[in-house]
Amino acid sequence: MSTKPQGPSEKTIAIVVHEEVSAKDGMKLALRKKGMKRPLVERISMPDSSRDTGNPVHIERLIDRQNDRYSESVTDQATKAVIHECEEPLSSHTSHGSARKRRDKENP
């Protein structure tokens, strides 16, 4: 007695693969003057992620040392809502980022 199937035995298997790739780009621009350590003007426009929520955001930042100007805007990419906006003289923009005073480990 044979257990072989009778007639042709073919199986058709369909595999569908769908991939989606998206890319985000940004720009950084610096205007430098010979002999100066820091650029006179820095412009940043780039995607990032929110430190609070982790959601994708878009950052626009202008640091203009020549005209003493600082402006920054952070926008949620999904809702287009402005999360943070700051416009002030650069000389007034202190205690941020690396200029922030560090807490003493003994006295937090």
Tens place of pLDDT for every residue, the chain, 108 residues? 556 656 667 788 889 898 888 777 899 999 999 998 999 999 999 999 888 888 899 999 999 999 999 999 999 999 999 999 999 999 888 776 666 665 555 555
* Residue 56, number of CB atoms within 10 A of its CB: 13
Question: At residue 98, what are phi and psi to the nearest 5 degrees?
Answer: -75, -15
Which has the closest alpha carbon to 65: 89, 88, 87, 40? Answer: 40
pLDDT for position 105: 55
Task: Give the global pTM.
Answer: 0.65
pLDDT for position 10: 77
| Long-range CB contacts (within 8 A, 24+) of 21-29 | 24/56
